[in-house]
Amino acid sequence: MDTAILALEDGSVFEGRAFGASGERQGEVVFNTSLAGYQEIFTDPSYAGQIVVLTNPQIGNYGTNPADDEARHPFIEGLVTREFAAEPSNWRSDLGANEYLTKHGIPVAADIDTRALVRRLRSKGALRGIVSTVPGADPQDLVARAKMVPSMAGLDLATRVSTRDRYAWDEIVTAASPSELIPTPAKPQFNVVAFDFGIKRNILRCLAHVGCRLTVVPAGTSAEDVLAMKPDGVFLSNGPGDPEPLAYQAQQVRTMLGRVPIFGICLGHQILGLALGGKTYKLKFGHRGGNHPVLNKLTNKVEITVQNHGFAVDPDSLDANKVDLTHWNLNDQTLEGLRHREAPAFCVQYHPEAAPGPHDSQYLFDDFAKLIKEWKKS
């Protein structure tokens, strides 16, 4: 078995076994603490530009299948794991994880001490790195080149991963197994325009499930073009990269405020924050996983949430006379949700659609549908 190398900008080198595609990929090295759902992580566009370390010690054991793809192809730059199962064992598997990642050109570094690696990332913050499965690669050369990898700060990746063409979506949430219970879907009744900054398919399914007829538009679509479609609501999606370069998108959202109900998730939350005059900042190592506790100040209940972000909205930068701060992360007290006091607009930093993860926050899609109903009556 060939050797795989993960080289970090701080000079650290981790060697393991190579799986997946033969080659080199670069990016910001981040970690995810989810226990399951690796295929959804592979294909989440929010991971563009990132090498993902999965802390769950065994990855690949249940293979892959088309139903679990969250986008048209994987967006991770590379995968780092403790144990990688090249041969799957699951009734839903169509293709092994090794063949799947090889097919899409993603290198895998396995047999890595992920505990030591994550401790380094937590203490030093997310680091730039290169993962190589090329035979004979020079570790010190990889370190030198890792130092030249572009920083995630200042990168507009949302427009890179966004759809180029407008399209309709009507697929709803379906059961993954015979034992899973799914609420009865609502009849399509709301015309909703969804901005694709890196949108996940399960977000679209959840929106369709509560009665939204969806038209997905590119990240650079103007407010004028959206409003000309006479939507009942506008959705701002998740996505990768730094929100700060998305000044044009924030301006379009600002133009639509008060004219149509708006709901944002993840990067969409950050863009709405910018549209409201707020600022964003880069987190030390980000939040990525399916076990993050968030306090909902509106209900005083704690929700276990799915998270995937490296930036956050600065709560002190928002006008307290116009914005209610509704959700807070209980691990580090960062802002996780906000709601405009007058305009029909709200957003959360985390992922209520899960895929993968807990479903504690799926009520937010119902809240969006209720907001649209109330707005249409007013």
Chain-centroid distance of CA 267 in Å reads: 8
* Residue spans of alpha helices (H) in the chain: 38-42, 97-103, 114-124, 139-146, 158-161, 201-209, 223-228, 247-256, 267-275, 363-377
- Which is it for the CA torsion 32, 10, 78, 71, positive or negative? positive
Choose, from 206, 212, 266, 347, the residue flagged as catalytic.
266
Instruction: Report CA-CA distances (Å) from 345 to 145, 240, 275, 338.
Output: 44, 22, 11, 9
Chain-centroid distance of CA 298 in Å reads: 24
Give dist(CA 257, CA 343) in Å, integer.
6
Give dist(CA 129, CA 28) in Å, integer.
6
Q: Mapping DSSP to helix (H, G, I), strand (E, B) and coil, where does residue 315 land?
A: helix
Q: Environment class of residue 291 by beta-carbon count within 10 Å: exposed (0-12), middle (13-18) or buried (19+)? A: middle
Give dist(CA 41, CA 52) in Å, integer.
9
Give dist(CA 45, CA 167) in Å, integer.
17
Active-site annotation holds for 353: yes
- Which is it for the CA torsion 352, 354, 359, 362, positive or negative? positive
Active-site annotation holds for 347: no
CB atoms within 10 A of CB 56: 17
First vs last C-alpha separation in the chain: 66
Catalytic residues: 266, 351, 353
